[in-house]
């Protein structure tokens, strides 16, 4: 017999008035989801973390879960999804005017798997336009704001998802990573952010930016939140030829295991110029904390890491110029009005539909792929990319994970770097090389600055080492919790 709603307090009973375990289950799930939705709506006016809050969708999902009596891994688990990950029937704008009213016709594989596990998607989160940015300021719908200080950026490009987790609205959220777009905002917002091995999570349904670098990635309030979600969404998908046919472990199984004897590599050369002194101090303290926990600290070298930014901004822009060619005003999305010729319509649509940062990257990418420059830029960048990967493989011969800062500074003020693209790009100086190599990394909070802003370090591991990274992160968080919450927190 189907439960029916009896009032505005979300109580649900059977038609004959008798409560059952299922109706009580929905009462718990339903109330929890409605509280989550209320918090999301209440905070969104200040934080702008969600581009859409899907109340009807979330409540309907809770009703569907009420009808299931089987145990699901994430039953009733509220989650937020970055707005470049397709959700059937719901808006997927990529933070861009050119896709402002686009509604996806299918779910991404990661979303399908979350649904099958009983998770409830409550909304689509704000992001830098087409995931191109490090501050969330390139969004066509205004920047998301850091819950620790709303005058500051949350990082990008997955800033909205980071804010949804950091503000306590949800415990976990999906983002995407091309050059640090989950780890960097995780660091600036005081939460955990995991970029998996390339191919660990299917990219089917992730709107492409740079296909050889893109990953669906995960934010969590704790490392255990990421482990739960990763266990559900990882694995081979026949619809994504780049997804790997590698066994998926239970990532929650070893989160409490001892780390004594684990070797953590530290590339001291990367702790020099450009790194904020407060960040350096907190990260060096984290290194010593690991030593006290029984880990062995070893020195490693990554000589080609210093070329990471240059290589990344050649390869990523080249792939972006190709991937974004499909947005022409013909097939779907925004189309400019008042045009009397096809070529003029193409030009005006892209001129009006794309923001400044996306245009900049399309032009850079087109240039490095053009005749006469392909070998000098793109081909050479691919060769250096192979050397970056080789550096990591050599380093992992002497360590289990490599520890560096995640971001060179704490969250900067909104507008502070908007007119200086190079300064903005350097925010990813510590993160891009893991994307170039295709290896996993996780950002871990390790303290607050004198201004009360979060600082994080990152652990980078060899291929398919997510379980080990999650355990190192969980052990650190258990021993050295951040011990503070942002002023804008849902709880």
Instruction: Point out the residues that are catalytic.
Output: 82, 157, 181
Structure tokens at 268: 């001291």
Buried b (16+ CB within 10 A) or exposed e, 176-214: bbbbbbbbbbbbbbbbbbbbbbbbbbbbbbbbbbbebbb
Q: Which residues contact 455 (CB under 8 A, 6 or more apart)?
A: 187, 278, 279, 282, 283, 410, 445, 446, 447, 448, 449
Structure tokens at 320: 């972006």
Cα–Cα distance, 119 to 227 (Å, whole number) = 14
Cα–Cα distance, 261 to 100 (Å, whole number) = 51
Cα–Cα distance, 173 to 229 (Å, whole number) = 9
CA distances from 325 to 23, 96, 358, 471, 485 (A): 50, 15, 12, 41, 43
For 20, how many CA atoms within 13 A lie in the half-sphere containing its CB? 13
Residue 258, judged by CB atoms within 10 A of its CB (0-12, 13-18, 19+), counts as: exposed
Closest CA to 233 of 210, 217, 219, 245: 217
Decide: 86 and 240 in contact? Cβ < 8 Å. no
Cα–Cα distance, 5 to 42 (Å, whole number) = 24
Cα–Cα distance, 286 to 266 (Å, whole number) = 11
Closest CA to 457 of 470, 468, 467, 447: 447
Structure tokens at 221: 């309030």
Decide: 190 and 147 in contact? Cβ < 8 Å. no
Cα–Cα distance, 254 to 250 (Å, whole number) = 8
Q: Which residue has tokens 């245009």?
A: 359
């Amino acid at each position: 017999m189907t439960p029916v709603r009896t009032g505005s307090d979300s109580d649900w009973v059977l038609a004959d008035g008798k409560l059952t375990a299922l109706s009580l289950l929905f009462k718990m799930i339903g109330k929890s989801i409605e509280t989550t939705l209320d918090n999301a709506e209440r905070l969104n006016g200040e934080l702008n973390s969600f581009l859409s809050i899907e109340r009807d969708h979330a409540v309907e999902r809770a009703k569907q879960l009420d009808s299931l009596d089987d145990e699901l891994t994430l039953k009733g688990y509220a989650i937020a999804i970055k707005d470049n990950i397709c959700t059937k029937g719901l808006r997927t704008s990529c933070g861009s005017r050119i896709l402002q009213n686009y509604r996806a016709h299918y779910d991404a594989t990661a979303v399908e798997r979350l649904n099958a596990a009983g998770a409830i998607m409550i909304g689509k989160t704000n992001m830098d336009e087409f995931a191109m940015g490090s501050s969330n300021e390139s969004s066509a719908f205004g920047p998301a704001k850091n819950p620790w200080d709303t005058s500051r950026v949350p990082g990008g490009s997955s800033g909205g998802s980071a804010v949804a987790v950091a503000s306590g609205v949800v415990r976990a959220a999906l983002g995407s990573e091309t050059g640090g777009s989950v780890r960097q905002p995780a660091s600036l917002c005081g939460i955990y952010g995991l970029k998996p091995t390339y191919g660990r999570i299917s990219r089917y349904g992730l709107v492409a930016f740079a296909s050889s670098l893109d990953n669906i990635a995960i934010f969590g309030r704790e490392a255990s939140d990421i482990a739960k979600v990763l266990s559900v969404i990882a694995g081979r998908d026949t619809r994504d030829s780049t997804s790997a046919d590698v066994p998926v472990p239970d990532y929650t199984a070893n989160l409490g295991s001892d780390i004594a004897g684990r070797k953590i590599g530290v590339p001291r050369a990367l702790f020099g110029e450009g790194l904020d002194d407060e960040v350096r101090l907190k990260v060096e303290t984290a290194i010593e904390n690991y030593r006290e926990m029984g880990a062995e600290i070893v020195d490693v070298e990554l000589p080609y890491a210093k070329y990471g930014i240059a290589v990344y901004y050649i390869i990523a822009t080249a792939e972006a110029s190709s991937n974004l060619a499909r947005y022409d005003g013909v097939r779907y999305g925004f189309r400019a009005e008042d045009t009397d010729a096809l070529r003029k319509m193409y030009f005006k649509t892209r001129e009006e539909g794309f923001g400044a940062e996306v245009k900049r990257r399309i032009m850079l990418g087109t240039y490095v792929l053009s005749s006469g420059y392909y070998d000098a830029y793109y081909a050479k960048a691919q060769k250096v990319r192979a050397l970056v990967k080789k550096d990591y493989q050599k380093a992992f011969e002497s360590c289990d994970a490599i520890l560096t800062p995640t971001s060179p500074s704490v969250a900067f003020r909104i507008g502070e770097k908007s007119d200086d693209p190079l300064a903005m790009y350097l925010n990813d100086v510590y993160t891009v090389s893991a994307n170039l190599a295709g290896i996993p990394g996780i950002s871990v909070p390790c303290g607050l600055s004198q201004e009360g802003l979060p600082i994080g370090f990152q652990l980078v591991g060899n291929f398919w080492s997510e379980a080990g990274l999650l355990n190192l992160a969980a052990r650190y968080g258990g021993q050295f919790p951040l011990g503070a919450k942002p002023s804008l927190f849902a709880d």
